[in-house]
Structure 1
């Protein structure tokens, strides 16, 4: 089955390469995509037997938990994400924002259904950030907690060392993902090989643990523990955290390398290690205190701590990079204010660094480490945001399958029902942990969702207010040219969101400077619901007359808008030539004034005004040279 949405079938990155190129992409994907889910063995089985759940590490319970972990990985990650959802690519890109844009295209524009899908997608993206700040904290903490196994007196150094590692990780982001990845990437392969080897060694002591693959043990667990056995899914979900991130990072390497890496390397390594930990606990129930590190030979525990720490740093790196990507998508789709974005690679446009997001994440992550103090405490906060995002993904997948996959929906839609039941069970199980710490990602997600929706709604209200006093361009220009003002050499580009209304910047220029440039361009930048704008739809130039032009530039939501570059390329395509040294950009910068009983609730108006004041200027966002930009202010009440 190939993707109906993308002629590259979701794996264009691999399509242009032979077997050697595909192998290289598989290795690269293993080093980046699976970091989050690959560090779950550090804490998953241990947490399943924490006092919070009240389970005893006896024979049937251990096999039941292992069976639940195995089938969660098979159904949620292997079947749902890797096999099915990754086919719902939006021009080769994945992630909840891309899936939301794809689902919205199946619905009438402006309909209530499309609005509801937008709400779901934005809430899922907000939950993704809630998960994103917990992953680095719990991963690095769990790795360094191996020090307590080596020497209990070193336990007091776990938190300080975790903070040092995290500060170094976030500080290194300014050098770019590519440079950081070259340093740590090969370690991931060693990590998964080590997981597999340790698992095999421990399984040889208790081969009976292999029977946990039989789903009967999972069924027996629920039969033994009745209805409240569902709450153990709050620990089982730790094994599948990172499944959504696999879909999000798909666009970097293509679907085929990611699938190969999962099917033939990552999944077997993870399951061998989980089964090995289970075998260790069957042999010695006391090992449940920390089955991962106790299962390592004593001589290898210190090197394992170093390797695990490096692996968790890589996992955190993948989450941080994903946060940058989702932030850029949200900016392009109009859900958050413009932020300063720096490109860290001259070869790959996707390699970006957003300083404000990086430092905010660092502060929240370090506060989490200092507040919770251990990976076990953080595990109570982990899972609610992941399960919520997985539930939303299932709903969006059902919409896409119903509308765009007529040949396969007869079997995909029934599977969506199965996924939905599982997702709801995970949400219920994690909901029980809200008072113990699960409230944190939920509150963070709600706060971020409120900000995203406030910005979207505020931008709409601002545009409506600007349009109220606007003058239609078609009627204004003929009257202006009856008694034209003095015209000066050069090109003036007036940036406007509404193609039919006279830009405020032009009105201010005429009022205060009383001149008109020799050539005048009304420029509108539009973001499409696809990752990359097709070259034939990138630029549209229409001549109005008297050296006035309308220019429409389109970008995809994965692109960084570069207006000067797009205008220069218009000349290469036989269009109008724009001399960079003779061109001046004019833009309006509105000052928002919140008024009670208008638009949104007053507190949301104030919030929007704060966000608007702190948005990055157009100079940086559209990559316009600061010495060629003139911003003219206007006060708008909403």
Structure 2
């Protein structure tokens, strides 16, 4: 209490903002990793069940889980990778953009590493909702066996509802994500504390030597078990991907204050419970809670898994937007579902892809046990890719030598490669699913990038230098086009050449506007571009103006809003007297294009899912003129 006024001291604004971000990060960033206790220890125990689980094996497994969390999540992600930001943004593609900016050249190795990491993340975004929700709903079988037959239908209904609400945005419910997930982590800690006293031997798991002992003595079975142990760190990539939404310090604070202690306590509690009750290996997570708390825990777990699913879906939307802006995918329809938070977006094509993938996984695998075997490959693969890219980050950004960078990250890379090999052993037992998903997405991205390059090269053969065109068109002659009032804006990707749509307009309509703007939209290698740096204008002649509009790869590419900035810079125009000219290309397959026939068709099909540029760039619909042309590729 304040002695002079009797009022409670107000919380400083900075502290309120920090606490809000911390609470939000618990719900979004840690939602996925927070659901791992539902199935990770259970799956790790499975290979030992037939011969009976020994105390050394239980302690060794829990030690592996705790120290995997410590090594990979704490050291790699929380303490190191959160500092490897691209102007505050994180994630595989953000790191790729940063490295390409720092190296100053196109590097195929970096490019393929980026698209592999992105493709594996999309695969992870399909498996996470299916696995986590089924794991939670399966707890209903312990409440009453009658509900066992309804696990699949209930899981499917939850997924249908979850994907249906994406188009409406999550602003209304996201404010509950943090508090619900906080309660979930407190429930995890409570469950662990209830049972650590069952057998204090489990505290030996805090000694990393027990983890090493397990690896060296478990043999081939131990290598298989490592795949399940790695399930403890699924969702760690979200730490890095959501850096821009919450910032480094709130994410770090949430991990050390709440998330890591709760996870460690829960795993220790599960281990102690199994040591005291060997029959609990069937489902140690749910069985360690009192009967009266079982139904509330099942409902809370279901809510937590829905939140975890929402987090990876949102992450997939964000990654797709980055991929579009960086040229890895065609322009997709992107809807902003919040007027204040640009991170809340909806991408219909990605939403449908994820929904179909999740439903296929649910009904193909049938239960979380079968699906868990397929889970680890996508996660470990993405982590290995990120670590490899970090080697280049240390060299390019921090200025370390190649030898020093490799030596620092070699222990971590070795550990992750071991985990990857352990998961690859399950390739025949469902592990092929994430590999196939990632491969398909990677091929699409590679095809789009390569096809777009070939298309630019082919169209460049007919390019007319802009300076030459302006000089020729402004000469007085009998064949000069008729001058008409108003402003014409011609969109082009190459600012120094005459837009094809401008040439076609003169050829077919024989007119030229009083003001002509050659507009180029570029995506910078930074997340956001300030309004002060948004627009660059160059006067080419009395009637021609070059306008370059820059957006960050996380920006809403709203050209109409950007053009409003031009008025402040001295370019006067009336929007109702302005026409926007776009070229619509009809791509025709050519077997001699340089692409194999199947890839040629894939590129054309991929182009078909892209949206109209006028919608993508937010141009006024009633002011757009489209002129078509056929391009053979």
Q: Distance in 1 between matches of 2:200 and 2:441?
A: 48
Cα 1:271–1:411 change in 2 (3 A) is farther
Q: Distance in 2 between matches of 1:187 and 1:417?
A: 38
Does 2:608 match 1:607?
no
Q: Distance in 2 between matches of 1:173 and 1:425?
A: 37
Specify the alignment match of 1:392 in structure 2. Answer: 385
Cα 1:147–1:366 change in 2 (3 A) is same
Q: Distance in 2 between matches of 1:596 and 1:425?
A: 43
Q: Distance in 1 between matches of 2:51 and 2:344?
A: 45
Runs (5+) with no aligned partner, structure 2 = 1-11
2:97 aligned to which of 84, 94, 101 = 101
Q: Distance in 1 between matches of 2:61 and 2:50?
A: 13
Q: Distance in 1 between matches of 2:392 and 2:50?
A: 40
Equivalence map 1:118-517=2 (5 Å):
118-226=111-219, 228-406=221-399, 413-482=406-475, 483=477, 484-517=480-513
Give a deviation string over 1:126-164, Cα, whole Å, max 9, x none: 011111100000000000100111222321010000001
Give 1:534 shift: 3.8
Contact 1:53–1:232 (Cα < 8 Å) also in 2: no
Give 1:172 shift: 1.1
Give 1:412 shift: 6.2
Q: Distance in 1 between matches of 2:166 and 2:619?
A: 25
Q: Distance in 1 between matches of 2:141 and 2:196?
A: 25
Q: Distance in 1 between matches of 2:321 and 2:85?
A: 18
Q: Distance in 2 between matches of 1:233 and 1:326?
A: 29
Give a deviation string over 1:59-107, Cα, whole Å, max 9, x none: 0000000010011000100000110011000000000001111222232
- Classify the secondary structure of the residue corresponding to 1:18: helix
- Classify the secondary structure of the residue corresponding to 1:551: strand
Give a deviation string over 1:23-65, Cα, whole Å, max 9, x none: 2211111121100000000000000022499774210000000
Give 1:183 shift: 4.1
Q: Distance in 2 between matches of 1:342 and 1:613?
A: 19
- Classify the secondary structure of the residue corresponding to 2:198: coil
2:538 aligned to which of 525, 536, 542 = 542
Contact 1:173–1:180 (Cα < 8 Å) also in 2: no
Contact 2:494–2:520 (Cα < 8 Å) also in 1: yes
Give 1:586 shift: 0.3
Does 2:554 match 1:589?
no
Does 2:20 match 1:41?
no
Specify the alignment match of 1:628 in structure 2. Answer: 623
Give a deviation string over 1:523-573, Cα, whole Å, max 9, x none: 01011111012444321110111310111111111112111111101222x
Cα 1:440–1:53 change in 2 (3 A) is farther
Contact 2:534–2:550 (Cα < 8 Å) also in 1: yes
Cα 1:56–1:91 change in 2 (3 A) is farther
Give 1:207 shift: 2.1
Larger CA deviation: 224-233 vs 264-273: 224-233
Specify the alignment match of 2:5 in structure 1. Answer: none
Contact 1:177–1:321 (Cα < 8 Å) also in 2: no
Specify the alignment match of 2:562 in structure 1. Answer: 566
Larger CA deviation: 127-136 vs 344-353: 344-353
The RMSD of aligned alpha carbons is 1.7
Specify the alignment match of 1:578 in structure 2. Answer: 573
Runs (5+) with no aligned partner, structure 1 = 1-15
Q: Distance in 2 between matches of 1:300 and 1:612?
A: 53
1:522 aligned to which of 510, 518, 523 = 518
- Classify the secondary structure of the residue corresponding to 2:537: strand
Does 2:528 match 1:532?
yes
TM-score norm. by structure 1 comes to 0.95
